């Protein structure tokens, strides 16, 4: 039995990924705040484990991971995905509450989830597992007017590298997937904003293709790891962006 927890599983890349893994027969922990959505996703699927929790709350995250372990017996993969894109602007225009929320969800939430996964993977028998962090194109090259999002996503790259180094002695691999313009509700909002401003929106790609890339990373044998993967709409402005 293959097992995975997906954070941010109720929408966007997280939902597409969770549904793909469920279809592939994995036991999938669906972690997100929306209990009703998770219940609907789990309906009729014996391999779905709904884990309603807020990734910014340490006790809630710990409890969710422990409930999954009680149900599945083992955690092989974490797709550390939950994140937000708060209203943009130049740094003097970004509300402090939006900065704090971005750091709390995009960085603290991913730290807390990785911490629980690492703890479980270190102490389970046989030891080991895999953590896949959702970085973003913004982990390398920022979008305009997104200092809060870009700063947190750059931090995820440091988290990935540290986990990769510290996990070696325990058989824990860590990789990062940087996804560019998958058609999610968040990206659609950026497209709509561009159109409203009379600008040409960036090209997008099917979110299912991002999910397939996560499946590839998760399905590798323990001796192999995708350290960093970039998957994006072919003609989006990434090469030369800025």
| CA angle, 39 then 51 then 25, to 5° | 75
CB atoms under 10 Å from CB of 58, counted, come to: 14
Q: Taking Cα atoms as reference points, which of 55, 168, 59, 71 lies closest to residue 114? A: 55
Q: Taking Cα atoms as reference points, which of 205, 203, 204, 229 lies closest to residue 140? A: 229
Strands (E), 81-159: 129-134
The residue whose two tokens read 């807390």 is 112
Q: Taking Cα atoms as reference points, which of 155, 152, 143, 153 lies closest to residue 187? A: 143
Catalytic residues: 149
Q: What are φ and ψ of residue 178, in 5° steps?
A: -110, 110
Pairing of strands 27-32, 228-232: unpaired
What is d(CA 222, CA 127) in angstroms, rounded to the nearest whole number? 11
Q: Which residues on adjacent β-strands are paired with residue 32?
A: 52
């Amino acid at each position: 039995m293959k097992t995975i927890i997906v954070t941010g599983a109720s929408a966007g890349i997280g939902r597409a990924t969770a549904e793909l893994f469920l279809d592939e027969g994995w036991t999938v922990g669906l972690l997100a705040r929306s209990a009703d959505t998770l219940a609907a996703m789990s309906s009729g699927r014996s391999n779905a484990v709904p884990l309603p929790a807020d990734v910014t709350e340490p006790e809630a995250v710990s409890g969710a991971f422990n409930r999954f372990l009680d149900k599945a017996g083992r955690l092989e993969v974490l797709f550390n995905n939950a994140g937000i894109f708060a209203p943009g602007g130049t740094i003097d225009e970004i509300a402090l509450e939006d900065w704090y929320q971005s750091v709390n969800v995009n960085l603290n939430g991913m730290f807390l989830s990785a911490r629980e996964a690492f703890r479980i993977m270190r102490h389970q028998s046989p030891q080991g597992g895999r953590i896949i962090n959702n970085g973003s194109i913004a982990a390398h090259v920022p979008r305009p007017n997104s200092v809060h999002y870009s700063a947190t996503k750059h931090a995820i790259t440091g988290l990935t590298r540290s986990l990769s180094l510290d996990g070696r002695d325990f058989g824990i691999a860590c990789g990062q997937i940087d996804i560019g313009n998958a058609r999610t509700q968040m990206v659609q909002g950026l497209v709509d904003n561009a159109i409203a401003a009379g600008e040409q929106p960036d090209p997008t790609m099917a979110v299912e293709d991002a999910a397939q890339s996560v499946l590839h990373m998760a399905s590798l044998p323990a001796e192999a790891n995708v350290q960093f993967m970039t998957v994006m709409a072919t003609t989006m402005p990434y090469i030369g962006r800025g």
